[in-house]
Amino acid sequence: MNDRDDPAARVARLFDELADDYDQSGVAFFAPIAEGLVDALALVPGERVVDIGCGRGAVTFPAARAVGTTGAVTAVDIAPAMVELTRRRAEQSGCVQVTTALGTADELGLHDASADVLASSLVLFFAPDPVATLRAWLRLLVPGGRFGLATFGTPDPVWERVDALFRPYLPPQLLDPRTSGADGPFASDEGMVQLALACGASSARTVRHHVPVHFPDAAAWRAFSQSTGQRAFWRFVPEDRRQRLYEEAAEVLEDARTDGGDLVLHQSLRYTLGTV
Ligand SMILES: C[S@@+](CC[C@H](N)C(=O)[O-])C[C@H]1O[C@@H](n2cnc3c(N)ncnc32)[C@H](O)[C@@H]1O
């Protein structure tokens, strides 16, 4: 099966290629989102946490600090380069409570009922079948275990206008509304609650969080966008149209210029929290 037929393989390959640059553009985005999720989970020393779709460890390392060396964090990702970079970071920072694993939670054979807390930031909407995926994730929790899922909330209108510049070039599989939060369970607080309850949660609620994202200029936005999943969008823009698209984006981004001089886009988040 090639990547076109297998969405999970496409996601794994995209993030594998991105891993070196991912979250390294200097724009604070993934870290404040992940830290908000870790705070909302109110971790305590000694707890065993599974971080699914760990990327470069935005959740893993704050979680490791919160559970301490008497606890444990298992950081899982389907992209080998993400796993390797997170493993190295754990080694270099002496985080002995962090272990890494390559694969999806269900195929890894992580034991059912082996974690106190499951955390996953900006991952579930990539799953071709979110119900089956979340069911498998929640089985990892002990009875009474807690989970926290970060997904995107209401989009910033300026950001939407920038993203819309890519749309004429994108193939149908990248127009999937689930990742934009425009449709399905990812489109509303209640949709996320119902998804969690349908997947084995005994209680669930969604709280909102907000992260202002500062870009010193449009070039910083471009570097950031090429270091995230949006790099896939750039690839579909013919090379001789990319500079024009960037200039159009820079024009739109002027509407986000603040008195301080930065371009500030607002990212709203849903944290869906609950127990099994
Ligand atoms: C947008 S990144 C988020 C990474 C990290 N949680 C963060 O907040 O920076 C999504 C990550 O999830 C991984 N991923 C996607 N689907 C996955 C799955 N079913 N199981 C494990 N990892 C997955 C990708 O490889 C990628 O590293």
**CATH code where residue 109 lies:** 3.40.50.150
- At 183 the pLDDT is 67
Tokens 């607002």, residue located: 266
Q: Which residues contact 81 (CB under 8 A, 6 or more apart)?
A: 15, 16, 17, 19, 20
pLDDT digits (tens, 9 = 90+) for 144-174: 999 999 999 988 999 999 999 999 999 877 7
Q: Name the pTM for this structure.
A: 0.94
Number of domains in the chain: 1
Is 250 part of any domain? no
Is the Cβ atom of 123 under 6 angstroms away from ligand 1? Answer: yes
Is the Cβ atom of 18 under 6 angstroms away from ligand 1? Answer: no
pLDDT digits (tens, 9 = 90+) for 192-205: 999 999 999 999 99
Tokens 């380069």, residue located: 81
Neighbours of 221 (CB within 10 A): 24
pLDDT digits (tens, 9 = 90+) for 25-53: 999 999 999 999 999 999 999 999 999 99
Atom of ligand 1 lying closest to residue 104 CA: 20
Is 254 part of any domain? no
Is 141 part of any domain? yes
Is the Cβ atom of 36 under 6 angstroms away from ligand 1? Answer: no
Is 103 part of any domain? yes
Is 96 part of any domain? yes
Task: Report helix, strand or coil for 97.
Answer: coil
Is 246 part of any domain? no
Is 36 part of any domain? yes
| Band of residue 177 on the pLDDT scale cut at 50, 70, 90 | very low
Average pLDDT, the chain: 92
Output 172 or 60, whichever has higher pLDDT.
60
Mean pLDDT of 85-110: 91
Q: Are the C-beta atoms of residues 195 and 183 closer than 8 Å to each other?
A: no
Region of poorest pLDDT, from 11-20, 148-157, 172-181, 227-236: 172-181
- Name the percent of the chain lying above pLDDT 70: 94
Alpha-carbon separation of residue 176 from 46, 91, 134, 148, 171 (angstroms): 40, 37, 19, 24, 10
| Band of residue 178 on the pLDDT scale cut at 50, 70, 90 | very low
Mean pLDDT of 209-224: 96
d(CA 10, CA 14): 6
Is 228 part of any domain? no
Is the Cβ atom of 211 under 6 angstroms away from ligand 1? Answer: no
CA dihedral 83, 95, 146, 77 (to 10 degrees): 0
Radius of gyration of the chain (CA): 18
- At 7 the pLDDT is 79
d(CA 153, CA 271): 9
Is the Cβ atom of 50 under 6 angstroms away from ligand 1? Answer: no
Q: Which residues contact 7 (CB under 8 A, 6 or more apart)?
A: 126, 128, 173
Output 97 or 128, whichever has higher pLDDT.
97
Which residue, 131, 151, 138, 120, is CA-closest to 55?
A: 120
Q: Tell how far the Cα of 94 is from the centroid of ligand 1, in angstroms.
A: 23
Residue type, 252: V
Mean pLDDT of 92-113: 89
| Band of residue 6 on the pLDDT scale cut at 50, 70, 90 | confident
Neighbours of 257 (CB within 10 A): 14
Summarize the chain as % helix, strand, coil (round to 5).
45, 20, 30
| Band of residue 258 on the pLDDT scale cut at 50, 70, 90 | very high
Segments forming the whole domain that contains residue 120: 7-156+176-214+265-275
Task: Determine which residue's CA is closest to atom 27 belonging to ligand 1.
Answer: 55
